[in-house]
Amino acid sequence: MQKHLTMNANQIADLLHSYQTDLFSLYNEQDKSFWEKTPEGKWSAGHHLIHLVQSTRPLLLAFSLPKFIIKWYFGTANRPSRSLEEVIQRYNEKLAMVSDGVVSPFSRKMPDSKGKDSFKWQKTFTEMNERLNKKMLKLSEKDLDTLLVGHPLMGKMTLREILMWNAYHTKHHEKVLRAKYLE
C-alpha cells in the first residue's frame, strides 16, 4: 500500500513564497492603472490582493491560538491530510458550485481600491505570510496533520491542508488576473 504523499512545512513555505513572488511580479510589471482595472461586474485588480490579505488574516489568527483551543473548537482529523493536488481539486470543485453574485465573508467589506498603493498591500501580505510561516514551522508535522480549522467554502481542513490551500489561493488569483485583466 502506497503511503499518502503530501508536502512538509518547509515545502509549503517555499510554495507560498514562489506563488507570492509570481503574483507580485504580475502587479509590478503593469503600470499603475492596472491596480484599478475592473472588468465588467468584477473586482478591481487591486481587490484581488486586498482579498488575499483579508483571507489570510483569520488564518494567521487561527495559527496564533494555543493548540488546545484549536483542538477544542474544531476537533482532530479522522483521516490523513490531503495532498496539494487533492486540495486544489476540491477547492476548484467547491468554487464551481458557487453561483455568480454570491459573496464570501471576505468580499463583503471590500475597501475602495482607488488611489491605493499596490506596494503597501504587497508589504502587508508579505509580512502576514512570513508570520504565518514562522508559526507553521514551530508546529510538528503531526500537529499539521491532526489539528483542524474551518474554511468557509471547504469546511474543516487539517492545518497542513489549509496552508497548502492558502498557497494555491494566491496562485488562483494570479491566474485569474492573467486570464481576465491583461489585454
pLDDT in tens, 41-75: 788 899 999 999 999 999 999 999 999 999 999 99
With beta carbons less than 8 A apart as the criterion, state whether 12 and 171 touch: no
Query: Does residue 156 sit in helix, strand or coil?
Result: strand
The CA-to-CA distance between both ends of the chain, in Å, stands at 48
Q: How sure is the predictor about 6, in pLDDT bands with cuts at 50, 70 and 90?
A: confident
pLDDT at 79: 95
| Domain regions of the chain by residue span | 43-95+117-183
Q: Is the pLDDT of residue 101 over 60?
A: no
Please tell me the predicted confidence (pLDDT) of residue 51. Answer: 92
* CATH for 43-95+117-183, options being 1.10.287, 1.10.150, 1.10.1060, 1.20.120: 1.20.120
Cβ 15 vs Cβ 165: under 8 Å: no
Using the predicted structure, report yes or no on whether residue 143 has a pLDDT greater than 70: yes
* pLDDT tens digit sequence for 156-183: 999 999 999 999 999 999 999 999 998 7
Contact 34, 181 (CB under 8 A): yes
CA distance 28 to 93: 31
